[in-house]
Chain A
Amino acid sequence: MTEIPLRPTIEVESRGAAPLLEIAGVTLRFGGIVALSDVSFTVGEGRIVGLIGPNGAGKTTLFNCLSRLYRPERGDIRFNGKSLRHAAAADIAAMGIGRTFQSPALFASMSVLDNVKVGAHPRGHNGPLRDAITLPQARREEREIDRRARAMLAFVGLEDAATRQAKSLAFGAQKRVELARALAAQPSLLLLDEPAGGLNHEEVAELGALIRSVRDRLGISILLVEHHMGLVMSLSDRVVVLNFGRVIADGPPDDVRGNAAVTEAYLGKRH
């Protein structure tokens, strides 16, 4: 079994020479509507990049381009120097991009632990025949996956919920399971689609700590789509602002906060 070792804690400052993810001039239209127009930005290794913008700005569309549910018409997305244009949607996880969904997309009937184990699917090698006759190597792999899945559940603080049915969990807990599931594939980039949506104040604070520890302890870079401004501004090393499919600002949180175009996009023009 090929192992992608979890990286040790790295100093954020010392990283970030070559971009891990490079989005270059991505354009996508649905009929006459331009969903994304010449979108370009990068996510450096070990960075947390926030992606914000009003509703309908194209954030989720961009996410779906990254997970190859959509194919950009123009432009390219390079991950680790490799273009995603010709990758299949099912290959993205194996390449090292993990994601969570806006509303928890868990496998409802399965146990929490099995949900996380599904996340480890791209790192496994057991085929149907090996599973059916349970060769020793299949057993070994299953043990390893079990260990990883439990470690990831412990990481998000849900080790006690391992045997519960996924759909029986509270909303906030389901989002954590989703995070653990994405982590089980040992990604180098994690796409989080509105992780704070629907969480209460306390849960948002915990989530912030959790996201930071994903980067600091597991060394995973993060692209974060979020409406919760406090969370985005406190977590992100850089913030990219989309409006009507265009990048209108890109920089450190403090610069973006003071940017006139951003204020206008959110609050409208001053009359």
Chain B
Amino acid sequence: MSESLPVGAAGKLAPIRASVPNAAKVRWPCNWPWNWPWNWPWRWLAGAALIALAVVLPFALSNYHVFTLTQVMIYAIAVLGLNILTGYNGQISLGHGGFFAAGAYTAAILMHRYGVPYWATLPPAGLICFVLGVLFGLPALRFEGPYLALVTLAMAVAMPQLLKYFDTWTGGQQGIVLVKPLPPPGLGLDRDRWLYFFVLAVLLLAMRLAANLLNGRTGRALVAIRDHPIAAVAMGINTPRYKTLAFGASTLFTGVAGALAAIVVGFVAPESFSLFLSLSFLVGSAVGGIATIGGAIVGGFFIESVPNLANDVSDAAPWAIYGLAMLLFMYLMPRGLVGTLGPWFVHAMRKFRSARGAPK
């Protein structure tokens, strides 16, 4: 790599007044990506503490709650996929439930008909959903905003009936009942807790991969297309290529989540993948923070637990409670929990550190 840049040379320029400081008061330093004001050891420590908590938690909870948490993580992976597309690239999808179903059925058919071990079904499920997503993303290039939402809606409404139609493969209305996988011997874990850890590992991997993707050259291109498509083209970004890629990457994650759902629940049927599932993903995405990675976990919690909580609050009108929760969330935190609190936290940390005289 040659030393070709005028590093330092630029410093010898005639002084140019930067008209920046105090020019505009902004509350948040940046909403994407937040520049965490932590040095590496602290970030690692915070991450390690969270992971340690996730590892210890299942031993303190009942089987039912462990199962619920596993579901939360599965939804989190699906929402993470949707965030890549809708949050970072600005393409709305109402059809991700369909891709979730495609992933679930891929895993179920591979396990049921071909005896493929459960863990080996994830890569093919992801791959098939990637291809489906790319195929779907190509015509989607012609649509934007609400029109794209309608096109993707087609995926969500068509999927359950397609699954019923191809019943030699999918088992039709009855679906496919799967044998729940056994935990590896010698670990001393029961089935639910083993699956919890399995899904946790996939979630952590998915978040890591998504973060790498979105923080790199690809992620910048995706956000550039969302923020200013014309300028993005002028910067040499091949817009159709990246938009299609965003679709494929997004559905890959969602498809893997679907495969995990099939494995963990041990049963797939067309009715589990209704239009409401697609809408739930969008709700989860918005509640957690549409262009965030951590927000996917909040979204997973919302999708899994709020309907149950609403049921506890009112037997008569659980969906009214659900709607109220959604309204409150959007009113109080329009950018989602992570999208609102994250920058606030970063801001507070920075203030705290500069108050202590630490370098920025």
Which of A71-79, A168-176, A254-262 contacts its partner? A168-176
The answer to whether A172 and B19 have CB atoms under 8 Å apart is yes
Which of B16, B29, B30, B213 sits near A210, CB closer than 8 Å? Answer: B16
Alpha-carbon distance A61/B216, docked complex (angstroms): 34
The answer to whether A151 and B19 have CB atoms under 8 Å apart is no
Alpha-carbon distance A56/B230, docked complex (angstroms): 21
The answer to whether B30 and A126 have CB atoms under 8 Å apart is no
17 A-B residue pairings within 8 Å (CB atoms): A90-B233, A92-B234, A106-B228, A107-B224, A109-B227, A110-B32, A111-B35, A118-B235, A118-B237, A119-B235, A121-B217, A121-B224, A126-B218, A130-B216, A132-B212, A160-B20, A210-B16
Question: Is B31 part of the contact surface with A, judged by Cβ < 8 Å?
Answer: yes
Smallest distance from the beta carbon of B212 to chain A beta carbons, Å? 5
What does the 1/0 interface line of A62-81 toward B look like (CB < 8 Å)? Answer: 00000101000000000000
Smallest distance from the beta carbon of B22 to chain A beta carbons, Å? 9
The interface on chain B, measured as residues whose beta carbon lies within 8 A of the other chain's beta carbons, has a size of 57
Given contacts A134-B212, A164-B20, contact A126 B224 (CB under 8 A): no
Please indicate which of the listed interface residues B30, B230, B249 has the most CB atoms of chain A within 10 Å of its own CB: B30
The answer to whether A131 and B236 have CB atoms under 8 Å apart is no
What does the 1/0 interface line of B201-238 toward A look like (CB < 8 Å)? Answer: 00000000110110111111101101110111111111
Question: Is A105 part of the contact surface with B, judged by Cβ < 8 Å?
Answer: yes
Smallest distance from the beta carbon of B292 to chain A beta carbons, Å? 12
A-B CB proximity, top 4 nearest? A93-B236, A131-B216, A122-B236, A170-B23
Smallest distance from the beta carbon of A110 to chain B beta carbons, Å? 6
The answer to whether B7 and A185 have CB atoms under 8 Å apart is no
What does the 1/0 interface line of A201-219 toward B look like (CB < 8 Å)? Answer: 0110010011001000110
Which of B10, B18, B23, B220 sits near A110, CB closer than 8 Å? Answer: B220
The answer to whether A1 and B18 have CB atoms under 8 Å apart is no
A133 CB contacts on chain B under 8 angstroms: 209, 212
The answer to whether A154 and B23 have CB atoms under 8 Å apart is no
Alpha-carbon distance A140/B245, docked complex (angstroms): 23
The answer to whether A110 and B213 have CB atoms under 8 Å apart is no
The answer to whether B236 and A169 have CB atoms under 8 Å apart is no
Interface SS of chain B: helix, strand, loop or mixed? loop
The interface on chain A, measured as residues whose beta carbon lies within 8 A of the other chain's beta carbons, has a size of 73
Smallest distance from the beta carbon of A112 to chain B beta carbons, Å? 9
Given contacts A118-B220, A126-B218, A154-B10, contact A107 B20 (CB under 8 A): no
What does the 1/0 interface line of B341-356 toward A look like (CB < 8 Å)? Answer: 0000000000000000
Question: Is A268 part of the contact surface with B, judged by Cβ < 8 Å?
Answer: no
Question: Is A142 part of the contact surface with B, judged by Cβ < 8 Å?
Answer: yes
Question: Is A144 part of the contact surface with B, judged by Cβ < 8 Å?
Answer: yes
The answer to whether B236 and A155 have CB atoms under 8 Å apart is no
The answer to whether A89 and B234 have CB atoms under 8 Å apart is yes
Residue of B nearest to A165 (CB): B30
Question: Is B17 part of the contact surface with A, judged by Cβ < 8 Å?
Answer: yes
Alpha-carbon distance A114/B215, docked complex (angstroms): 10
Question: Is B11 part of the contact surface with A, judged by Cβ < 8 Å?
Answer: yes
Alpha-carbon distance A121/B225, docked complex (angstroms): 13
B residues 1-36 touching A (CB-CB < 8 Å): 1-2, 4-7, 9-11, 13-21, 23-24, 26, 28-33, 35
Alpha-carbon distance A156/B13, docked complex (angstroms): 9
Alpha-carbon distance A173/B26, docked complex (angstroms): 15
The answer to whether A165 and B29 have CB atoms under 8 Å apart is yes
Question: Is A50 part of the contact surface with B, judged by Cβ < 8 Å?
Answer: no
